[in-house]
Amino acid sequence: MEKGASEADPSRGRNGFVGVLYGEFSDVLNDRVRYSVSLTESALTIQRISSSPGRTKVVFNLADCIGCRAHRAPDAADVGAYFTAYFYPFKRRWMSAGVARQRVEQCFRVALVQEPLANLQEAERWARAIRDASALQAPRRDGVVYAELRRPCRVLILVNPHSGRGQALQLFSAHVQTMLTEAGVPYTLVITEHQNHARELARKADLSQWDALVIMSGDGLLFEVINGLMEREDWQQAIQVPLGILPGGSGNALAASIHHYSQSPPAWNEELLLSCGFMLCKGLVGSLDLVSVQLASRQRLYSFLSLAWGFVADVDIESEKYRHVGPIRFLMGTLVRLASLRVYQGRLAYLPVRDARRPPKAGRRSDPEPPEGGARTRTPAPAPAAPLLPALDQPVPDSWTVVREQEFVLVLAVYQSHLAEDLWTAPGAAADDGLIHLFYVTAGVSRPALLRLFLAMEKGGHLACGCPHLVYERVRALRLEPVTPQGMITVDGEVVEYGPVQAQIHPGLARLICG
Per-residue pLDDT, averaged over 303-311, amounts to 98
270 shares a domain with 174: yes
Closest CA to 103 of 156, 41, 145, 60: 60
Helix, strand or coil, per DSSP, at residue 20: coil
Instruction: From 137, 163, 192, give the residue that closes a domain.
Output: 137
Instruction: State the catalytic residues.
Output: 219
Contacts of 403 (CB under 8 A, 6+ apart): 347, 348, 349, 350, 440
301 shares a domain with 402: yes
Question: What is the DSSP secondary-structure string of 26-55?
Answer: E-SS-TT-EEEEEE-SSEEEEEE--SSSS-
Inside any domain, residue 363: no
207: domain CATH number is 3.40.50.10330
Nearest-angstrom CA–CA distance, 137 and 130: 11
Kind of pairing, strands 34-39 and 187-191?
A: unpaired
Kind of pairing, strands 187-191 and 155-159?
A: parallel
Label residue 13 by pLDDT band (50, 70, 90): very low
453 shares a domain with 338: yes
Q: Is the pLDDT of residue 11 over 70?
A: no
Q: Is the pLDDT of residue 53 over 70?
A: no
Per-residue pLDDT, averaged over 392-408, amounts to 97
Per-residue pLDDT, averaged over 354-365, amounts to 58
299 shares a domain with 282: no
Q: Is the pLDDT of residue 15 over 60?
A: no
Q: How many domains does the chain have?
A: 3
Inside any domain, residue 330: yes
pLDDT of residue 360: 65
Per-residue pLDDT, averaged over 346-373, amounts to 65
Inside any domain, residue 372: no
Inside any domain, residue 264: yes
Label residue 85 by pLDDT band (50, 70, 90): very high
| 16-52 pLDDT, tens digit each | 444 589 999 999 988 889 999 999 999 999 999 987 7
263 shares a domain with 220: yes
pLDDT of residue 306: 98
Q: Is the pLDDT of residue 319 over 90?
A: no
Count of Cβ atoms closer than 10 Å to residue 298 Cβ: 8
Does residue 252 contact residue 275 with C-beta atoms inside 8 Å? no
Label residue 365 by pLDDT band (50, 70, 90): very low
Nearest-angstrom CA–CA distance, 473 and 187: 42
175 shares a domain with 316: no
Instruction: From 95, 111, 137, give the residue that closes a domain.
Output: 137
459: domain CATH number is 2.60.200.40
Q: Is the pLDDT of residue 351 over 70?
A: yes
Helix, strand or coil, per DSSP, at residue 449: helix
Inside any domain, residue 51: yes
310 shares a domain with 233: no
Percentages helix, strand, coil for the chain, rounded to the nearest 5?
25, 30, 40
pLDDT of residue 320: 83
Q: Find the range with the poorest average confidence among 65-74, 116-125, 185-194, 368-377.
A: 368-377
319 shares a domain with 258: no
Q: Is the pLDDT of residue 54 over 90?
A: no
Residue 499 lies in domain: 292-354+389-506
Inside any domain, residue 12: no
| Mean of all residue pLDDT scores within the chain | 91
- pTM given for the model: 0.91
Nearest-angstrom CA–CA distance, 481 and 343: 14
71: domain CATH number is 2.30.29.30
279 shares a domain with 155: yes
Helix, strand or coil, per DSSP, at residue 71: strand
Instruction: From 273, 289, 305, give the residue that closes a domain.
Output: 289
75 shares a domain with 155: no
Inside any domain, residue 208: yes
pLDDT of residue 379: 66
Q: Is the pLDDT of residue 8 over 70?
A: no
214 shares a domain with 153: yes
Q: Is the pLDDT of residue 362 over 60?
A: no
152 shares a domain with 127: no
Q: Is the pLDDT of residue 400 over 70?
A: yes
Contacts 24+ apart (CB under 8 A), 19-24: 21/126, 21/129, 23/110, 23/126, 24/49
| 456-501 pLDDT, tens digit each | 999 999 999 999 999 999 999 999 999 999 999 999 999 999 999 9
Does residue 346 contact residue 183 with C-beta atoms inside 8 Å? no
Inside any domain, residue 371: no
| 421-460 pLDDT, tens digit each | 999 999 999 999 999 999 999 999 999 999 999 999 999 9
